[in-house]
Structure 1
Amino acid sequence: MHFYDLSKISVILVDDNHHALELVKTILRSIGVQHIDAFDNAESAYEALTRAEYDVMIVDWVMRPVDGLQLVSRLRKVDSPCPFVPILMLTGYTQEIRVMRARDAGVTEVLKKPVSVLSLHNRLVSIIEHPRPFIRNKTFFGPDRRRREEERRGPDRRSSETVEPVEHTADRRESAGE
């Protein structure tokens, strides 16, 4: 199995379950990620995000007292220290309604637990190689939620909505050693 070179990316990992945190750290190391900062709560992770830049955030959904979705919502605010960080959410609950909630909060990708080496590697590569443009409108700021271009029939219902693509300077492909 050929792995993408992930040795130059920095990852912030957040999970309040010690065993899950250690497992994901081990997987990240096994696929070549060398810079991993791990936190067992959302508040400590947010503090770290105010002091350092990360290429990717991996966060569990179900945590206490602040869950992963609340952390994501806070990070996608205008005054956030890192509104553009790609966010990979881990969850054991992948019903469509939950995936939609995560997407609507600003999550870049969702990965079902338990994670495997290959699934985590592939998701990270996808985030790096296919960065999503960021969108800002009246009710949403975050990565473009549309997955694929579909043939449009009839008028474009978004044409009357003001959607502004938002540019940022970070180029994750460069930092990943491509």
Structure 2
Amino acid sequence: MYIDVAPLDIMVIDDSAYMRRIVSAMLRGFGARRIHEAEDGADALEKIEMQPPDMIIVDWVMPVLDGAELVKLIRQPNFVCAYVPIIMLTGHTERSRVLASSKLGVNHFLSKPVSAKALYNRMADCILYPRRFVSTEEYFGPEPRSQNEGQLRTQIGVALDENGMPLEQAG
């Protein structure tokens, strides 16, 4: 499976300059050319409002404005990029965090240390299989995944991992 990420504006938000460099290098390896970085949620919010990205990769734990708080601000129906795909990247992978990220409206959860394959697969899923957005009193974000969605992807030849995420096709 190949996706063309060259035309995308991708925002990488992490308080670790080292981690931003790693993720940005992976993105360049996938063909991305328009990568923007921010060192915390507050810095990201300013940059997002000036130039809304097509995809956001954000760390959970950061000073000033953390990833969860940033996602809450982004996932407001009238925000400039409320519908942008968001991948939450974190070293804190407790089940409670995974569930909390879903309730925030994150498209994907990705644990550190991140592999290029895992990042690419999450990005590909956001691009190839966008989920419609739903809005309730308590939630605004991508529609929760369904069991039927995973079965359909398997039927059309997209292999899934144990979390229902598309795997890179062999061959």
Question: TM-score normalised to the size of structure 1?
Answer: 0.79
1:109 paired with 2:108, answer yes
Greater helix share, structure number: 2
Match of 1:10 in 2: 9
1:31 corresponds in structure 2 to: 30
Task: Give the Å deviation of 1:61.
Answer: 0.4
8 Å contact from structure 1 (residues 3, 31) kept in 2: no
Local SS of the residue matching 1:59: strand
| 1:97 maps to 2:96 | yes
- Cα displacement (A) at 1:37: 0.5
CA distance in 1: counterparts of 2:116 and 2:33, whole angstroms: 15
Write the distance in 2 (CA, Å) between the matches of 1:147 and 1:58.
23
TM-score by length of 2: 0.82
Displacement, 1:147? 3.6
The residue that corresponds to 1:123 in the other structure is: 122
Which structure would you say has the larger RCO, counting Cα contacts within 8 Å and 6 or more residues apart?
1
**Equivalent residue, structure 1, for 2:39:** 40
Q: Give the 5 Å matches for 1:153-168.
A: none
The 3-state SS of whatever aligns with 2:147 is: coil
Aligned to 2:80: 81
1:129 and 1:3, CA in 2 relative to 1: closer, same or farther beyond 3 A?
closer
SS in 2 for 1:149: helix
CA RMSD in angstroms comes to 1.5
- 1:149 & 1:104 partners in 2: Cα distance? 20
Q: Deviations over 1:5-60 (max 9, x none)?
A: 22111101100011111111111101111100101111111111112121100000
**C-alpha contact 1:3 1:121 (8 A) present in aligned 2:** no
- Tell me the residue number matched to 1:19: 18
Aligned to 2:168: none
State the alpha-carbon separation in 1 of the partners of residues 3 and 74 from structure 2.
27
Segment drifting more, 77-86 vs 38-47: 77-86
Gaps of 5+ in 2: 150-171
SS at match of 1:73: helix
Q: Rg bigger for which structure?
A: 1
Name the CA distance, whole Å, in 2 between partners of 1:9 and 1:78.
Answer: 22
Deviation by residue 1:69-119 (Cα, 9 ceiling, x = unmatched) = 000001112342211111001011222211110010111111111111111
How many residues are treated as equivalent by the alignment? Answer: 149
Are the equivalent residues in 1 in contact too, given 2:42–2:64 (CA < 8 A)? no
Deviation at 1:64, TM superposition (A): 0.7
Q: Which amino acid aligns with 1:13?
A: V
Letter in 1 for 2:46: E
CA, structure 1 residues 5+78, in 2 after alignment: closer, same or farther (shift >3 Å)?
closer
